[in-house]
Amino acid sequence: MLKRIDLLKSKLKEDEIDALLVTDPANLIYLCGYTGSNGMLLVRNNQSKPIFYTDFRYKEQIKKEVKGCKTKIGDRNLFADFPAIDLKGIKKLGFESSNLSFGNYSKIKKQQKTKVKIMPTNNVVENQRITKDTAEIEKIRKAVAITDKTFMSVLKIIKPKITEKDLATEIDYQFKKEDDIAFPTIVAFGERGALPHAQPTNTKLKLGDTIVFDMGAKYQSYCSDMTRTVVMGKASKKIKEIYDIVFTAQKLALENIAQGKPAVEIDGYARNYIKDKGYGENFGHSLGHGIGLMVHELPTLASKSKDILKVNEVFSVEPGIYLSAEFGVRIEDLVRVKENGCEILTRSPKELIEL
């Protein structure tokens, strides 16, 4: 983690920012290991140690978690009693504009006793998090393995009349036995599969229904994300047709991933194939997103993305087709970018499964 902080300091110097106030929970985990719910980190661009602030509830926790920092215990409302004394010598203080509320910004501003320019920054730490180190990749790999194992286990309990909530609850239970869930599990039957982010209901499974699973475990704070579409009973001709289109679209995208490729180009391989098959209007979301401490991170694989792929970026590849009042099909894997190609981390079978 000291290397991560040193890299951040170099970036702050480059941007001529004397210090950065880090408040985003994922960035706190990344920079100092803190997993609690109330904390902030002041990182100067010089050689001094960063200062981590929290309240009494986490006094013992930070002894085990927070590395490479000075620590200070303050009021539960860290911004109401902001440690302005620690800003001595700072002329430009950056804050995370996508996380710090205007109310808390105002509290900091009001308490300043010296002339400190408080300025918004955007994705300073998030951009650093895009490329994963070996330890991060191994944690994601473990989260993926838990997800794969759970999916194969849950397939064995699927039967007619089981509900979406029954399956989602079982998935969450198995994830929590290992560590935690990465996001609310999606299980959608039949026509509800046409809702890309459908939440589980008491809808009962019928023969001929598609089942869309979008699920991800969390392991030591790192996330996985996988989608599979299976069928209860024999799949109709139309389901098979749509499934084959999505399967091939994903295959085209995966085959073209490599270091230096524009993300928009990878999105185009899948999107254009689906469009050529007549279903372009039924694929309305991006092809993929980065993953790590958050289930949605940079880079973005989308039609307007400006990202260029780099080695050891980890992201999803998830084309889908959604037919209103009929069904939906989505297939999603996580991949790691290599110099020439990619490593597919997800191991669950992708051929159409008929239960």
The pair of structure tokens assigned to 67 is: 């590395």
Same fold, 2-129 and 134-354: no
Q: What is the Cα–Cα distance from 247 to 331, expressed in whole angstroms? A: 7
pLDDT score recorded for residue 47? 76
Nearest of 198, 132, 219 to residue 330 by alpha carbon? 198
Mean pLDDT, range 42-60, rounded to an integer = 94
Q: Match domain 2-129 to its CATH number in 3.40.640.10, 3.40.350.10, 3.40.1710.10, 3.30.300.350.
A: 3.40.350.10
pLDDT score recorded for residue 1? 75
pLDDT score recorded for residue 48? 85
pLDDT score recorded for residue 257? 98
Q: What is the Cα–Cα distance from 189 to 195, expressed in whole angstroms? A: 10
C-alpha dist (Å) from residue 115 to 83, 86, 88, 92, 111: 15, 13, 10, 9, 11
Are 333 and 345 in contact, with CB atoms under 8 Å apart? yes
Are 49 and 69 in contact, with CB atoms under 8 Å apart? yes
Nearest of 133, 123, 106 to residue 15 by alpha carbon? 123
C-alpha dist (Å) from residue 259 to 179, 328, 337: 32, 32, 6
Are 313 and 290 in contact, with CB atoms under 8 Å apart? yes
Q: What is the Cα–Cα distance from 228 to 279, expressed in whole angstroms? A: 19
The answer to whether domain 134-354 has CATH 1.20.1420.30 is no
Condensed to tens digits (0 to 9), the pLDDT of residues 68-119 reads 899 999 989 999 888 888 998 999 999 999 999 999 999 988 888 778 999 9
What are the structural domain ranges in the chain? 2-129, 134-354
pLDDT score recorded for residue 81? 87
Mean pLDDT, range 286-314, rounded to an integer = 97
Which of the residue ranges 95-109, 178-192, 293-307, 324-338 would you say has the lowest mean pLDDT? Answer: 95-109
Q: What is the Cα–Cα distance from 222 to 136, expressed in whole angstroms? A: 7
Q: What sections of the chain are H helices per DSSP?
A: 2-14, 25-32, 61-65, 102-110, 124-129, 134-155, 164-178, 237-255, 263-276
Q: What is the Cα–Cα distance from 321 to 33, expressed in whole angstroms? A: 39
pLDDT score recorded for residue 5? 94
